[in-house]
């Protein structure tokens, strides 16, 4: 495996951080604090605004499926550069609300780019990092998601004072800057495995991998309501106003900054399997409390806990893949499939929650309770797996 010098290691990691910041941290999460303003400015109806948020989640699924095929055609480095340009173009395009379909299309494209980047970024950067630093590198790459969330909470309010169009243009300018800064930071591509290698005898997949796919899917379903509706819940649902909603989103962003590092620490100290259990318990409790909390202090504390979840589970799940699957190429395949599983349930949940939100007349608490239920299901799946027959697994794979 190729490694870089101590200085050279951080250039690819920085590029990866920029990619996750632009494609997920900003492209997805900056939309959340914009929801009340999009409705109040009458760019779109409340129903349309909610469904436009789900468009990014559908695109994420498509991108997760297209990421590896795109990289085979263009190379990982060029594919990542292209996807960052697509996200940047989407920000500028969204400054012009020509129609619902126009806006939906660009939100969809930004989601496609985000899904592709999530599949490719770790596989592109981590092979160049020494084994002893992979955990730190993984956390640093996905720290970009948390920085994007926090950045959206601090940048969007002052930009909104200049108008919605200026807000989208400002986000586009930031994305363009980060794309330019990361352009030459990507490492050289490794050759893709040859067909002969792909025809090697197929090893049995540990059942723990399938458990992870299922748990990751229900985690996705559990994180959507807070990710999409938290600001609207505080601003309109509780009547606290857009300013307080933005403050709560900043707290969510602080949690998102802490998440990748703290969850990675859990994986190192407890193992990824035990770390996932602990995180699921905490998240289920936090979502249940969110459904009945009204004080600013309680909401702020819960926002920090909930904000740690979306970016934090990424390095935790990736660490679990590395525990279960020893060989690099198979790790890439397993991670790609895990991302597709996550993206599928995230997209389905996005539309399901949007439909339920509209059908219930804007009942936020109901969504949070259902999300808590999804997290509980993810927690119980491991117990359910114990009742299934134990397959014969290859030597050396953890279960």
> Mind listing the pLDDT tens digit for each residue in 103-124?
899 999 999 999 899 888 888 8
d(CA 24, CA 44): 23
d(CA 71, CA 77): 8
Q: What is the pTM of this model?
A: 0.76
Q: Is 190 left (phi over 0), alpha (psi -120 to 50) or beta?
A: beta
- Among residues 153, 148, 398, 114, the alpha carbon closest in space to that of 267 is found at 398
- Among residues 58, 109, 59, the alpha carbon closest in space to that of 84 is found at 109
Q: What pLDDT score does 132 carry?
A: 61
For the CA atoms of 313, 317, 318, 322, what is the dihedral angle to 10 degrees? Answer: 150
d(CA 315, CA 143): 10
Q: What pLDDT score does 1 carry?
A: 43
pLDDT by 10s per residue, the chain, length 399: 444 445 567 888 888 899 989 988 888 888 877 877 888 877 887 778 877 877 888 888 898 888 888 888 888 889 999 999 999 999 999 999 888 889 899 999 999 999 899 888 888 887 777 666 666 677 778 888 888 888 877 788 888 888 888 999 999 999 999 999 989 888 876 655 544 444 444 556 677 888 888 899 999 999 888 888 888 888 888 888 877 887 888 888 889 888 887 887 788 778 878 888 899 999 999 999 998 888 889 999 999 999 988 888 888 888 888 788 877 778 778 888 888 888 888 888 877 888 888 888 878 889 999 999 999 999 898 877 766 654 444 444 443
> Mind listing the pLDDT tens digit for each residue in 244-270?
887 888 888 889 888 887 887 788 778
d(CA 105, CA 140): 31
d(CA 290, CA 368): 7
């Amino acid at each position: 495996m190729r490694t870089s010098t101590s200085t050279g290691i951080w250039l690819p990691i920085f590029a990866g951080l920029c990619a996750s910041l632009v494609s997920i941290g900003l492209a997805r999460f900056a939309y959340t604090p914009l929801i009340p303003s999009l409705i109040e400015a009458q760019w779109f109806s409340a129903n349309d605004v909610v469904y436009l948020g789900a468009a990014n989640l559908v695109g994420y699924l498509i991108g997760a499926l297209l990421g590896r095929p795109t990289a085979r055609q263009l190379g990982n480095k060029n594919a990542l550069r292209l996807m960052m340009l697509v996200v940047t173009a989407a920000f500028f395009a969204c400054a012009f609300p020509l129609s619902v379909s126009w806006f939906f299309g660009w939100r969809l494209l930004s989601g496609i780019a985000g899904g592709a980047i999530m599949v490719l970024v770790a596989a592109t950067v981590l092979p160049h990092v020494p084994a002893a630093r992979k955990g730190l590198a993984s956390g640093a790459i996905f720290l970009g998601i948390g920085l994007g969330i926090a950045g959206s909470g601090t940048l969007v309010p002052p930009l909104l004072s200049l108008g919605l169009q200026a807000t989208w243009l400002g986000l586009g300018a930031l994305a363009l800057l980060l794309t330019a800064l990361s352009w030459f930071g990507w490492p050289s591509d490794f050759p893709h495995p040859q067909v002969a290698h792909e025809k090697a005898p197929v090893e049995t997949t540990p059942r723990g991998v399938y458990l992870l796919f299922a748990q990751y899917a229900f985690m996705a379903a559990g994180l959507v309501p807070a990710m999409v509706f938290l600001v609207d819940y505080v601003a309109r649902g509780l009547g606290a106003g857009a300013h307080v909603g933005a403050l709560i989103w900043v707290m969510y962003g602080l949690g998102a900054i802490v998440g990748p590092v703290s969850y990675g620490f859990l994986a190192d100290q407890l193992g990824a399997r035990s770390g996932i259990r602990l995180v699921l318990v905490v998240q289920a409790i936090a979502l249940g409390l969110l459904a009945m909390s009204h004080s600013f202090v309680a909401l702020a504390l819960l926002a920090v806990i909930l904000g740690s979840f979306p970016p934090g589970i990424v390095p935790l799940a990736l660490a679990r893949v590395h525990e279960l699957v020893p060989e690099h190429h198979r790790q890439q395949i397993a991670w790609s499939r895990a991302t597709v599983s996550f993206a599928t349930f995230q997209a389905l949940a996005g539309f399901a929650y949007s439909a339920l939100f509209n059908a219930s007349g804007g009942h936020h608490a109901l969504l949070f309770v259902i999300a808590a239920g999804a997290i509980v299901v993810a927690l119980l799946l491991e117990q359910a797996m114990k009742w299934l027959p134990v397959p014969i697994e290859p030597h050396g794979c953890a279960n």
